[in-house]
Structure 1
Amino acid sequence: MVSPDRELTRPLLGVLFLGALIVASFWILRPFLAPAIWAAMIVVATWPAMLWLQASLWRRRSLAVAAMTVILMLVFVVPLVLAVGTIVSNADEIGERLKSFSAFRMPPAPEWLADLPFIGPMLVQAWQQAAAAGVEGLAARLLPYAGSLTKWFVAEAGQFGFLFVQFLLTLILSALMYARGEVAASAVQRFALRLAGERGEHAVQLAGQAIRSVALGVVLTAVVQSTLGAIGLAITGVPFAALLAAVMLLLCIAQIGPSPVLVPAVIWLYWSGETAWGTLLLVISVVVVTMDNVLRPILIRRGADLPLLLIFAGVIGGLLGFGLVGIFVGPVVLAIAYTLLKAWIEERAPEA
């Protein structure tokens, strides 16, 4: 007869060994976890597009994988390189513009501003206070926050090289997943089925819907808006169009919209006397801003219905927790958790 101590020791040592093996595996694969998660999200979201390309390219999976890899490179790597190149090549011009900004003096408030109902007098008063303080007063107010903001920007800028390497790893892993997507999906479904039965398999399907919802309803809309906005900035001659396009992409993903970039650009063109270009950019800006209310609902219906506050929290939390990669990973993780929690709450208890 086996003693109780021996019966307890064997499963305990087995669990400890298995736990140590899992922790060691994750520790070894830690540099590849973020690119692997990102690649999985991209592949799940764009899998229908890859199948369409495969059907169009003589049903050759290799050609479809190559085409999708090139498209991902154009979408992710090229904008990053253009933004960094713009900053490096125009560093001197940016410094000169910042120096000339110190001599800027605000004009008197326009007359129509005071005629606005409810908020007109407050806006005029704020305008007058800003004009009286000048750039020096504004700089003095922003000085306490400048140190922290500069440290954060330097830290993030120092990660551009590491981020570029992660982009390359993501492209490589995405190509591998495209090539063996059916096998990987079957393995994930079998694991979920083994772990939680039919509920686990259903959870995998809901997670895929959440990923597609974020990719189509949020990321794709942001890419379209920032691309059209960048074309408008480049046509009208606004400086640093590539850098402003990258800022627009981040703002659109965060559900803030492209207005914080496009509105000042339109004002700057009118201020510089470029009335025709300013009017053209104004028309483009109206189209780009209103596109959010038309394109995103159409795309988001293809996936799960997600609240915008959840996406915003995912973008901000992902940025603070994981850096620039978290802008994409954060909303997807929260969307998956929200979808699974909602499905679990709405699931009816089995009949007695």
Structure 2
Amino acid sequence: MEVDKAGSDMPDTPPRALIAPATLRWVALVLVTALITLMFFGMIRSFLIPLIMAAIVAELSRPLYRRIRTFLGGRRHLASAVTLVLILVLVILPVILIASIAAQQALGLSRSVVMIVNSLTASATEAALPDWIPYQEDIDDLGPEIANKVADLITAVARYMVATLSSLSRGTALFFLDTFIFLYAMYFFLQMDTPVMTQILRFTGLAAETQTKIAERSVSVSRATIKGTLVIGVVQGVLGGIGFYVAGIDGATFWGVVMGIVSIIPGIGPSLVLSIGVVYLLAIGQTGAAIGLGLWAGLVVTTIDNILRPILVGRDTQMHDILILVSTFGGLGMFGAVGLILGPVVAGLFVTIWTTLAEAAAMPPDGAHGPPETRKVTG
């Protein structure tokens, strides 16, 4: 019986010819998975925003859905339908109406402001400057140019506001299709026992504890941010718009929308717009209306934040004001009007991911408790 001399010395490993096909199969699987994923997201990319908004609104509306489901005896489908109808009637339709009115008023105000600037420029050019002022010819030439630049700036800002607000109310088939996708997806998202965020995290390969922590913190930060910015902004915008309407200032709906947006700026908020309204009323001689608007702004509009924020935010973690500011304006620039909600949510996810990563990196290894210098070295 012959014994292979190399048999007893060779390690028990498969030949390279058997390893290479398995590696190639894994590479092919990864490539095919990536290709199909890219094709899928490329196919539904125009519906990603409605789907994401549906997931966000469904998570925020889940407490209301649960109360309605309990009231209806546990009927999930009927409770989801009733929740959708309430959101449609109480939130979506009023937002579309307000956006339409604000867009029309923004266009009208831009034309009025341009006419006022032109009239002021014409009056300024007719007025004679004192002889002791130097470079009078240069100043005379510079006046109309400044006026034109100011008019161009106002027109550009008004056009941006019109385009942003009109995206909520454009009567196109695409808008109605996006709305249908939003409502249809939200109908099923509400009935899910496991939130969409948690289900997506299951495919990341992270530990179950980390997945739960990320999902809970993301929802908490997003909820607190939306409550602390969007809801308070809407309340301050409505109150400020009412003040402008009672004072007789044109475009009260548009200015209310502006005050709701700038309410995210810490320390300034709608006070800046209200102050401009007070100065305008004083300039045209309406002193009583100016005093009333100033009192309304100081006693009601600017103090409502201090009353509502502790009630709405509660114990939820809120992001820093600077991060809320840049994420909201960044969301407006990237996503349009829905960026008012989507921007802070993305920022909340950003903070949550990096906070969780920092905590995971700071955790001691298994079996090690306390700082390194206090651990005993065993032989």
| Shift in alpha-carbon separation, 1:74–1:136, aligned structure 2, 3 A | farther
Q: 1:8 to 1:242 in 2, by over 3 A?
A: same
Shift of 1:289: 1.4
Is it true that 1:242 corresponds to 2:253 in the alignment? Answer: yes
Greater share of helix residues, 1 or 2?
1
Mapped pair 1:79 → 2:95: yes
Moved more, 247-256 or 309-318: 247-256
Which one of 41, 51, 61 corresponds to residue 26 of structure 1?
Answer: 41
Higher mean displacement: 230-239 or 328-337: 230-239
Equivalent residues of 2:201, 2:211 under 8 A apart? no
CA shift at 1:59, angstroms?
Answer: 5.9
Name the aligned partner's letter for residue 274 of structure 2. L
1:104-152 alpha-carbon deviations (Å, 9 max, x no partner): 48xxxxxxxxxxxxxxxxxxxxxxxxxx999846425546856865775
After alignment, is 163-172 or 225-234 more displaced?
Answer: 163-172
Does the CA-based 8 Å contact 1:77-1:164 persist in structure 2? Answer: no
Question: Is this contact kept in 2: 1:76–1:167, CA < 8 A?
Answer: no
Q: Aligned equivalents of 1:23 and 1:193: distance in 2? A: 17
Indicate how the Cα distance of structure 1 residues 222 and 135 shifts in structure 2: closer, same or farther if over 3 A, else same.
farther
Preserved contact between residue 107 and residue 158 of structure 2 (Cα < 8 Å): no
State the Cα distance separating 1:185 from its structure 2 match: 5.0
Q: Which runs of 5+ in 1 are unaligned?
A: 106-131
The answer to whether 1:336 aligns with 2:352 is no
Q: Secondary structure at the match of 2:317?
A: coil
Check conservation: 1:192, 1:204, Cα contact below 8 A: no
Residue of structure 2 equivalent to 1:349: 364
Q: How does 1:1-352 map to 2 (within 5 A)?
A: 3-55=18-70, 61=76, 62-63=78-79, 65-88=81-104, 95-96=111-112, 98-104=114-120, 136=144, 138-140=146-148, 142=150, 156=164, 159=167, 161=170, 164-165=175-176, 166-167=178-179, 169-178=181-190, 180-185=191-196, 188=199, 191=202, 195-253=206-264, 255=266, 257-286=269-298, 287-347=300-360, 348-350=363-365, 351-352=367-368
Give, in angstroms, the shift of residue 63 of structure 1.
4.8
Distance 1:289 1:319, change over 3 A: same
TM-score calculated relative to the size of structure 1: 0.77
Distance 1:244 1:168 in 2: 30
Amino acid of the residue matched to residue 285 of structure 1? Answer: A
CA-CA distance at 1:80 after TM superposition = 3.5
Cα deviations by residue, 1:250-291 (Å, 9 ceiling, x for unpaired): 212455511232222222233333333333322221221122
Relative to structure 1, the CA distance from residue 224 to residue 56 in structure 2 (aligned partners, 3 Å threshold; closer, same or farther) is: farther
1:98 CA displacement? 3.4
8 Å Cα contact 1:39/1:171 also seen in 2: yes
- Give the TM-score, by structure 2 length: 0.72
CA RMSD of aligned residues (A): 3.8
- In the aligned structure 2, how far is the partner of 1:133 from the partner of 1:83? 40
* Distance in 1, Cα, partners of 2:158 & 2:197: 47
C-alpha distance 343-24 of structure 1, shift in aligned 2 (>3 A) = same
Give how far 1:329 is off. Answer: 1.0
2: CA distance, partners of 1:192 / 1:202 = 15
Q: Quick check: which has more Rg, 1 or 2?
A: 2
Contact 2:99 2:165 in 1 (8 A): no
Cα displacement (A) at 1:297 = 4.0
C-alpha separation in 2, matches of 1:46 and 1:136: 54
What is the number of residues matched between the two proteins? 328
Contact kept? 1:213, 1:299, Cα under 8 Å:
yes
Q: State the distance in 2 between where 1:187 and 1:331 align.
A: 19
Q: 1:133 to 1:292 in 2, by over 3 A?
A: farther
How much identity, in percent, do the aligned residues show?
A: 25
Distance 1:257 1:44 in 2: 28
- Checking the alignment, whether the CA contact within 8 Å between 1:45 and 1:215 is kept in structure 2 is no
Secondary structure at the counterpart of residue 198 of structure 1: helix
Structure 1 residues 222 and 85, CA gap change in structure 2 (3 angstroms): closer
Classify 1:212/1:153 alpha carbon distance in 2 versus 1 (closer, same or farther; 3 Å): closer
C-alpha contact 1:57 1:64 (8 A) present in aligned 2: no
> How far has the Cα of 1:170 moved from its partner?
2.9
What is the CA-CA distance between 1:314 and the residue it aligns to? 0.7
Gaps of 5+ in 2: 1-13, 122-139, 369-379
Whole-angstrom distance in 2 between the partners of 1:58 and 1:285 = 46
Deviations 1:3-33 (A, max 9, x none): 2321211111111111112111111121111
In the alignment, the residues of structure 1 paired with residue 224 and residue 141 of structure 2 have an alpha-carbon distance, to the nearest angstrom, of 47
Give the number of the structure with larger relative contact order, counting CA–CA contacts within 8 Å between residues 6 or more apart: 1
Partner of 2:132: none
Q: Return the alpha-carbon distance in structure 1 between the equivalents of residues 194 and 73 of structure 2.
A: 22
Offset from partner CA, 1:219-271 (integer Å, 9 cap, x none): 11112211222222233332111111221222124555112322222222333
